[in-house]
Each structure stands twice: as C-alpha cells, then as structure tokens.
C-alpha cells in the first residue's frame, strides 16, 4: 500500500446555541492518502485482488488511530473514500464497502451497526461530509450527524483519500424526540 500521508483532525464544540456543551462534543477523523491501486490500468473488471491486498490493511491502520485521536469511547462513527479524478468512485467503494475494512473499526469501537459512508470523485482539496450514526443502533437520532473534511492537497489524480470518523457523543444540544415516538 502506497501511503503518501495521514491526516488527523480533532474538533471540539464547547458552545452550541449559546449554551455550554459539557463535556465538549468531540469528533475525530483520520484520513490516509493512498495511491489508487487500480490507477493507470484502464477499466478493471475484477477489483477483488486490490481489495484483498489493501482493504484490511487500511482498516487495521486507521481504526486504532481514529479512536486514539478521539480520546474517549466512540458512540458514533462513519467512513469515507474520495477518489482522484483519474479513478472511479467504485475504486473507493471497493476499499471501504467490505468487512475486511469495516470490521477493524467495528471491533475496535465495540460496534454492531453498519458504518455509514460517503464516496465520491474529486480534485485535490475537494470537500466531503462524513456521515455518522450510533455504533449500536442506527435509529438513535441524537447521533445522526456529519462532519465536513478537506485535505488541501489530496487526492491527487491517481490517489484515494480513505477516512474514518468517530464521535464521543451525539450532536451538541440535540433535542429531537426518539424515533419510537413517531411510530
């Protein structure tokens, strides 16, 4: 796996809606900027060899890093893949939409739900939002949130940004009723 760089972002919200958030609402993101394993090969019919070679290694690398950066147990999580302009969205999807990748994060976070995801293609510096949901119950509305990410110099045309996000809580000052109240 060709890793150009790893970017870590930690965001803490101390005030929301004019009120203190105690403890501060914390979200961490760790993104690896890697060479696209399918770059320069034209249309690749069988992505499985690249998935086998890289997906598990990426999950194993990123899962402990994002939880360490969070500094608290994760309550919500998500993932993203942003493919450079010479690749296909399917290249990013191939790396993150496999248990070989996601199970590393699920196990490390003691999670049971599917990891919400975003994947897209774009130039270096493109903005992307990582969706997050509760780690054991995707219907818990307080934990439905997203976090905006930008890696200024990535992805290059032949790269993929693969990212994991974790939150130590739901949205700051959330006040929506539980989903069960509408059923």
* Long-range CB contact pairs, 52-58, < 8 A, 24+: 52/100, 53/1, 54/1, 54/95, 55/94, 55/95, 55/96, 55/98, 55/100, 55/101, 56/100, 56/101, 56/104, 57/1, 58/1, 58/32, 58/34, 58/95, 58/101, 58/162
The pLDDT of 141-149, averaged and rounded, is 95
Which of these, 137, 17, 13, 35, lies nearest to 83 by C-alpha position? 35
Q: How far apart are CA 166 and CA 73, in angstroms?
A: 9
Higher model confidence: residue 126 or residue 139?
126
Backbone Cα Rg of the chain = 17
Task: Reply yes or no on domain 3-182 having CATH 3.10.290.10.
Answer: no
Note whether 16 and 25 are within 8 A (CB).
yes
Tell me what the mean pLDDT of segment 76-89 comes to.
98
pLDDT at position 51 is 97
Mean per-residue pLDDT, 38-64 = 96
Give yes or no for residue 85 having a pLDDT over 70: yes
Q: Look up the pTM and report it.
A: 0.95
Mean pLDDT, residues 119-148 taken together: 96
**Please, what is the average pLDDT of the chain?**
96
Q: Where are the domains of the chain?
A: 3-182
């Amino acid at each position: 796996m060709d890793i150009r760089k790893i970017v870590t972002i930690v965001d803490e919200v101390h005030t929301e809606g004019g009120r203190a958030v105690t403890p501060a609402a914390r979200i961490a993101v760790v993104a690896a900027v890697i060479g696209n394993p399918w770059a320069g090969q034209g249309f690749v019919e069988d992505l499985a060899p690249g998935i086998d070679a890289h997906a598990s290694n990426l999950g194993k690398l990123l899962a402990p890093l994002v939880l360490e950066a969070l500094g608290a147990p994760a309550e919500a999580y998500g993932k993203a893949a942003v493919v450079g302009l010479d690749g296909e969205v399917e290249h990013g999807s191939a790396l993150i939409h496999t248990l070989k990748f996601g199970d590393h994060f699920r196990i490390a976070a003691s999670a049971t739900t599917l990891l919400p995801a975003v994947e897209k293609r774009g130039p270096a510096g493109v903005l992307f939002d990582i969706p997050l949901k509760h780690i054991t119950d995707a219907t818990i509305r307080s934990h439905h949130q997203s976090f905006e990410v930008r890696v200024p110099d990535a992805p290059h045309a032949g790269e993929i940004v693969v990212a994991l996000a974790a939150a130590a809580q739901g949205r700051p000052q959330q006040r929506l009723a539980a989903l069960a109240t509408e059923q």
